[in-house]
Amino acid sequence: MNRNLTLYIQANGDQAINHPILEENLLMTHPGASVEDLAALGYIPFIPNRPPSNVQLPVGTFQVPVKSYGLGPSGKNFQQKWTVRDMTEAEKAEFIASTNANAVSTPVDLSKVTFA
């Protein structure tokens, strides 16, 4: 089966509304509409992209990546945009507690460790 995996997102000017939806599902919610009608209904093509690498978008120890939607360079479609924000105090406390819980709690006997 060859599925159409084209995505659209509802937009008001340069502001995305809701989340991306598959073209197939969108057309089911608007009986009688065709792909050509979607722009008039306020839907714009959406192009997904992978999160950037830490080299492309450096994220510090107490920072988190944030995904939003925005117009692509052509102005004719929407895509994911990635930024970085500082963790809240609550997020920092949770991160530190989680890191400490995952730390090795048993001391390592270095006399039994061999180095190559």
Query: Is residue 68 assigned to a domain?
Result: yes
Question: Do residues 10 and 17 lie in contact, with contact meaning Cβ atoms separated by under 8 Å?
Answer: yes
- Residue 62 placed within a domain: yes
Does residue 23 form part of some domain?
Answer: yes
Q: Is residue 64 part of a domain?
A: yes
Let me know if residue 112 belongs to a domain.
no
Residue 56 placed within a domain: yes
Range of the domain at 92: 7-100
Residue 51 inside a domain? The answer is yes
pLDDT in tens, 51-73: 888 888 888 889 999 988 988 88
Residue 40 lies in a domain: yes
* Terminal CA-CA length for the chain: 54
19 residue type, one letter: H
Q: What ranges in the chain are assigned the alpha helix state H?
A: 23-29, 89-102
Residues 5-36 pLDDT 10s? 899 999 988 889 889 999 999 999 999 999 99
Q: Is 16 helix (H, G, I), strand (E, B) or coil?
A: strand
pTM of the model: 0.65
- How many domains is the chain partitioned into structurally? 1
